[in-house]
Amino acid sequence: MPKVYDGKLTNMFDISGKKAAIFGGAGGFGKAIAEGFAANGADVLILSRREEALKAAAEEIKAVAAEGVQVKYYACDACVEEEVIAARDYMVSEEGLGGCDILVNTQGLNKKMFSWEIDSEYWEKMLKTNITSTMYTNRYFGNWMKENNTEDGKVYDEAEFTSGQPSPCQGYGKIINMSSVRGIRIIGNGGMGNVGYCTTKGAVEMLTKSFAADLRPNIQVNAIGPNITYTPMMVGLLPPDEETRNGIAAPLPAQRIGYEIDVVGVALFLASAASDMVTATTIYPDGGLVATS
pLDDT (0 to 100) of residue 50: 95
Domain boundaries of the chain, sorted by first residue: 16-283
CA distance 159 to 208: 27
At the second CATH level, the architecture of 16-283 is: 3-Layer(aba) Sandwich (3.40)
- Which of 178, 200, 199, 210 has the alpha carbon at shortest distance from 280? 210
pLDDT tens, residue by residue, 22-57: 999 998 999 999 999 999 999 999 999 999 999 999
Rounded CA Rg of the chain: 19
Residue 190 confidence (pLDDT) above 80: no
DSSP state of 143: H
- pTM for this predicted structure: 0.94
pLDDT tens, residue by residue, 115-143: 899 999 999 999 999 999 999 999 999 99
H/E run at residue 138: helix 133-148
H/E run at residue 36: helix 28-39
- Which of 75, 85, 83, 80 has the alpha carbon at shortest distance from 54? 75
- Tell me the sheet residues that pair with 22: 46, 104
pLDDT band at 192 (very low <50, low <70, confident <90, very high): confident
Please state, in angstroms and as integers, the Cα–Cα distance from residue 105 to each residue in 68, 98, 160, 286, following that order: 25, 20, 30, 19
pLDDT (0 to 100) of residue 55: 98
* Mean pLDDT across the chain: 93
pLDDT (0 to 100) of residue 293: 78
pLDDT (0 to 100) of residue 186: 85
Instruction: Over range 150-175, report the average pLDDT.
Output: 85
User: Torsion over CA of 135, 183, 126 and 136, rounded to 10 degrees?
Assistant: -10
- Tell me the sheet residues that pair with 173: 219
Q: Residue 162 phi/psi, 5° resolution? A: -110, 125
DSSP secondary structure string for all residues of 53-64: HHHHHHHHHHHH
